[in-house]
Amino acid sequence: MTEAMLEVRDLRVSYGKIEAVKGISFRVEQGQVVTLIGGNGAGKTTTLRTLSGLLPAVAGEIWFEGKRLDGVPAHEIVQMGIAHSPEGRKIFPRMTVLENLELGAFTRSDRAAVEADLRHVFELFPVLGERAAQAAGTLSGGEQQMLAMGRAMMSKPRLLMLDEPSMGLSPIMMERIFSTIRTLKDAGTTILLVEQNARLALRVAQRGAILETGRVVLEGTAEELSTNDDVREVYLGVGAAEAPARGWRLYRKRRRW
């Protein structure tokens, strides 16, 4: 098996005595979109926060492009080529749109390339260019999500991590966000996508993993997950009345990458 861009091995993360991530493993190959799917409390956001250096791992290993990542400070992880668009957007509301985007490039000194990337963000999200001088806090929820993604892209990452990009958005705005993700995918961007909306996530991803209470319970290609009866019932809304019982059956159907 070739070396993956990102490899997570038996990762464990705790909040005090509560173990939130219980030994998960997965890989992200260069150029792939890989999605982590699961409900609230599944450990998805905790996983991304650990990968970006915001939370310490209790055990396990994180490898990025052949280098050990766990224990590396967050700012160095950004410099290594990983950007994180967090759950809840976490923009700076009193700063302008342009200032938020410029903060995304704070580790860079290649000003000409930064300006080129800024133009690219404005091409992907024209509304941000139109409102560059506007306070970020006055944007709509969908526009703030665009800003959060654009800010992450300004670090020129080799791996872009997106945490719940569809959360709280209207169906029209969700489609715009996922249309942009598809554009990035087609351009060869490597993306780790955390998403509760399994239907949207599996349409754009090549591979995925289902998380339940901190464990990977099923993994495979997007097509395999989309046609799996348990995934369809629990996460895609087919036979939703049986979802609680069927969800736990995923534990007995775990597959390896």
Instruction: Express each pLDDT in 179-218 by its tens digit.
Output: 999 999 999 999 999 988 899 999 999 999 999 999 999 9
**Does any domain span residue 49?**
yes
**Does any domain span residue 100?**
no
**Does any domain span residue 73?**
yes
The verdict on pTM exceeding 0.85 is: yes
CATH classification of the domain holding 75: 3.40.50.300
**Does any domain span residue 240?**
yes
- State the average pLDDT for the chain: 89
CA distance 136 to 132: 9
Residue 18: which pLDDT band, with cuts at 50, 70 and 90? very high
Cα 228 versus chain centre, distance:
23
How many domains does one find in the chain?
1
Whole-number pLDDT of residue 1: 53
**Does any domain span residue 222?**
yes
**Does any domain span residue 120?**
no
Inform me whether the pLDDT recorded for 151 exceeds 70. Answer: yes
**Does any domain span residue 89?**
no
Inform me whether the pLDDT recorded for 7 exceeds 70. Answer: yes
Write out the residue range of the structural domain in which residue 61 sits.
1-81+158-171+189-257
**Does any domain span residue 6?**
yes
Q: Each residue of 91-108: pLDDT tens digit? A: 999 999 999 999 999 888
